[in-house]
């Protein structure tokens, strides 16, 4: 079993749909992250939770809504997305604080039609 698991692997949704991405980590880490990876752009940090408290929200549009019910699970709720939101969404976790290694899942490839 991999350390960080993301579901679904692929998602196609219309602009009026509501969907959620799920991330689960089995590493006992206390911080979890959402990153967005678009073509030809650096990975962008979207949200960070440390000890289940949100510590960073990088000016992400409100159509993206994170939820961290416990230290092992992280969700990204999506509604009324735009085509430019199509990207690979990566979840990560870490334990060590500053300088700690991030462990990534395989991502959800999202296409918004």
Q: How many residues sit in the footprint of other proteins (CB under 8 A)?
A: 32
Instruction: Tell me which residue of 51, 76, 57 sits closest to 65, measured CA to CA.
Output: 76
Instruction: Tell me which residue of 24, 33, 29, 20 sits closest to 4, measured CA to CA.
Output: 24
By the 8 A CB rule, do 32 and 23 touch?
yes
Measured from the CB atom, the residue of 7 and 15 that comes closer to other proteins is: 7
Q: Which residues pair with 78 in a beta bridge?
A: 19, 64
Residue 22 Cβ, how far from other proteins at the closest point, in Å? 16
Residue 55 Cβ, how far from other proteins at the closest point, in Å? 5
- What part of residues 59-98 is at the interface with other proteins (CB under 8 A)? 88, 90, 92, 94, 96-98
d(Cα 4, Cα 58) in Å, to the nearest integer? 22
Residues at the interface with other proteins (CB under 8 A): 2, 30-31, 33, 40-43, 45, 48-51, 55-56, 88, 90, 92, 94, 96-107, 109
């Amino acid at each position: 079993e991999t350390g960080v698991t993301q579901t679904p692997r692929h998602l196609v949704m219309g602009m009026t749909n509501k969907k959620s991405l799920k991330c689960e980590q089995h590493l006992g880490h206390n911080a979890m992250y959402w990153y967005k990876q678009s073509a030809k752009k650096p990975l962008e940090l979207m949200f960070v939770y440390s000890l289940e408290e949100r510590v960073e929200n990088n000016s992400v549009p409100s159509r993206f809504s994170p939820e961290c019910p416990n230290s092992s699970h992280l969700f990204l709720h999506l509604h009324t997305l735009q085509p430019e939101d199509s990207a690979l969404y990566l979840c990560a976790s870490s334990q060590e604080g500053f300088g700690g290694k991030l462990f990534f899942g395989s991502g959800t490839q999202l296409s918004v039609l």
